[in-house]
Amino acid sequence: MRIVQTVFGVFHHFELARELNRRGHLQRLYSTWPWQRLRREGLPHPLVETFPWLHMAELAADRSRLRSLSDRLGYANALAFDRWTLRRLQRFPQPPDALIAISGSSLLTGQWLQQHGGVFLCDRGSTHQRFQQDILSQEYALWGVGRPVSDPRDTLREEAIYAQADAITVPSSIALRSFLQMGVPAAKLHLIPYGVRLDAFHPTATRDPNTFQVLFAGAAGLRKGVPYLLQAFAALQHPHKTLCIAGSLQPDLRDILSRLPTANVQFLGPIPRARLVDLMSRSHALVLPSIEDGFGLVLSEAMACGCPPIASNNTGAEDLFTDGVEGFLVPIRDPAAITARLQQLADSPELQRRMSAAALARVRSLGGWTDYGDRWESLLHTLTGK
């Protein structure tokens, strides 16, 4: 099979690309990040082409908190990247058998490939775009945040891609249900959970029994439910407790942070992977209370470090662990439920040890990215007939 991928930045697509390349299927990967950033992903340079100009400008506008400009650049980048990848595919001596496009990309490119006998797959890492927009709009209203959730043109483009694609892949049951809820036929949907790099994520330190350290990792904003974690942590009873927030502070959280409890909370900002592994190994729990999340890769990464996860039902947690065995499931927008589970762990070193061991065993049994590659290869054989 000859497979092409398109992706904004990196995400999990380079994990997939490495698996496809190892099996001899990857023909090309197109990304909107520069090669200087992508070289560390481990793919041969001839297999990777980049279109970085608009995406870099979008990121600069986002860092400067110019949200309106960032949104406009993001939409322009999606359109320009699509036209650019279309021209690249038109130059191939023979069209590829399949295009795996991260959601929001490759509408024109996918249409062209279908017209030339290929298969167009939309790979969506989150819930259905309209489901995501609706639930986050509710969240913004609850907190009185006067910001647009997203550019409405992005939602219309996403839905056009969902309709055009031959298949849509999602990483979790919650994401799958969101597409069914929005009327997408079940036959078009395929669930392929993400893997975890067990060579990179593993226990590297011991936990201090005299403290209780809680970790959040990811983009710290309303989508990830961080306000509820801050409220839950404030109610936790422990003389030596710490909450570490590892990840960039999102503008919507900045808007309301002064209204939230932050005692004993450390905002670390983005951190290198080595430090994240160390934090996961030292923390007594990782909490991901997302209002909406396609999967939550940090859950499996924490489990691989022996850190018990506490996650909302609107993540991929139900696909990763059993409630009460390797971690805990909690409802969205429920700080009291988070506090109760944190308190259980804080009060019982034995429960900590048992859950840590169970989390390690479970994530190792699920397999790493090789299993993810196997599932993708099987699906591609089915769809292409090759």
3-195+369-384 and 212-366 have identical folds: yes
Residue 378 to residue 386: CA distance in whole angstroms: 10
Q: What's the pLDDT at 66? A: 79
Residue 57 to residue 232: CA distance in whole angstroms: 37
Q: What's the pLDDT at 294? A: 92
What pLDDT digit, counting tens, does each position of 278-302 carry? 999 999 999 999 999 999 999 999 9
pLDDT at 344 over 90: yes
User: What is the full DSSP assignment across 198-254?
Assistant: TTTSS--S---TT-EEEEEES-BSTTTTHHHHHHHHHH---TTEEEEEEBPBPHHHH
Q: What's the pLDDT at 71? A: 84
pLDDT at 367 over 80: no
**The pair of three-digit structure tokens given for residue 40, joined into one six-digit string:** 């560390």
Residue 344 to residue 341: CA distance in whole angstroms: 5
Helices (H) and strands (E) in the chain, counts: 16, 13
Can you point out the beta strands (E) in the chain?
3-7, 26-31, 48-50, 98-102, 119-123, 167-170, 189-191, 212-217, 241-246, 265-269, 285-288, 309-312, 328-330
Mean predicted confidence (pLDDT) in 205-213: 95
Domain locations in the chain as residue ranges: 3-195+369-384, 212-366
Mean predicted confidence (pLDDT) in 242-263: 96
Mean predicted confidence (pLDDT) in 54-79: 87
Query: pLDDT class for 107, splitting at 50, 70, 90?
Result: very high
Q: What's the pLDDT at 250? A: 92
Cross-strand bridge partners of residue 285: 214
Mean predicted confidence (pLDDT) in 310-314: 97
Query: pLDDT class for 160, splitting at 50, 70, 90?
Result: very high
> How does strand 98-102 pair with strand 3-7?
parallel
pLDDT at 365 over 90: no
Mean predicted confidence (pLDDT) in 313-330: 96
3-state DSSP call for residue 276? helix
The CATH number corresponding to 3-195+369-384 among 3.40.190.170, 3.40.50.720, 3.30.70.890, 3.40.50.2000 equals 3.40.50.2000
pLDDT at 304 over 80: yes
Q: What's the pLDDT at 59? A: 87
Question: CB within 8 A of 75, min separation 6: which ones?
Answer: 151, 153, 154, 157
pLDDT at 64 over 80: no
212-366, superfamily in CATH?
Answer: Glycogen Phosphorylase B; (3.40.50.2000)
pLDDT at 225 over 80: yes
Mean predicted confidence (pLDDT) in 78-107: 97
Contact 34, 50 (CB under 8 A): yes
What pLDDT digit, counting tens, does each position of 27-49 carry? 999 999 999 999 999 999 999 99
Contact 7, 47 (CB under 8 A): no
DSSP 8-state symbol, 257: G
Q: What's the pLDDT at 150? A: 82
pTM over 0.75: yes
Q: What's the pLDDT at 70? A: 85
Question: CB within 8 A of 298, min separation 6: which ones?
Answer: 217, 218, 286, 288
Mean pLDDT of the chain: 95
Mean predicted confidence (pLDDT) in 164-182: 97
Q: What's the pLDDT at 65? A: 75
Q: What's the pLDDT at 295? A: 94
Mean predicted confidence (pLDDT) in 254-260: 96
